[in-house]
A and B are shown apart, each in its own frame.
Chain A
């Protein structure tokens, strides 16, 4: 069963516009959720995690247990935000880590 769902494969927004990348998860335990980003020709790197409730590069994500969502948001998109974004779920056992299918974000100048 798909544990992490990212409904949008491709997303394009204009520079300066708000952006939201959707992520829904399926897990009955206590989830640990992450957003990873992969810029062109670079390795996958952590963007942020829900437990730290931080804002990285202007991005924020709030865990909504009622809606089982962890959407990634940024109020004003920048060209350098163009990348592949993956939502990921870590099970409370710690030994399994599931990625969504990814959303390719393009910020149009």
Chain B
């Protein structure tokens, strides 16, 4: 149980385009999902917390206009990288927590999306 699906797994696009990444909880409802960014050989950095039906909470230093998050349903959150540039190339990972915001519940991770901007 507790499967999180992330799509696409790899995307390559030209500089200036916008890219949408989907994160779905397949067998549970997730009122809260998380978006991370991971650079090569580095740890995951929390970008934002996505809350169903409300605005996302962004971490310090993350541009909310650049990384648009929408959490329209209890099973889907999307991250849109707007006007992507080569420096946005990275590995983006989403996760969802069973039980919403309960702090002692673990997160379940998607497989990640490798974004390459040419």
Q: Which residues of A contact B (CB under 8 A)?
A: 32, 34, 36, 43-46, 49, 51, 86, 90-102
Task: Enumerate chain A residues within 8 angstroms of B93, measured Cβ to Cβ.
Answer: 44
Q: Which residues of B contact A96 (CB under 8 A)?
A: 46, 49, 59
List the B side residues contacting A97 at CB < 8 Å: 34, 46, 95, 107
Chain B contact residues, CB within 8 Å of chain A:
32, 34, 36, 42-46, 49, 57, 59, 93, 95, 97, 100-104, 106-112
Q: A43-B109, A43-B110, A43-B112 are in contact. Are A91 and B103 (CB under 8 A)?
A: yes
CB pair A102–B43 under 8 Å, yes or no, is yes
| Residue from the list A32, A44, A45, A99 in contact with B103, Cβ < 8 A | A32
A98 touching B46 in the complex, CB below 8 Å, given contacts A90-B104, A93-B101? yes
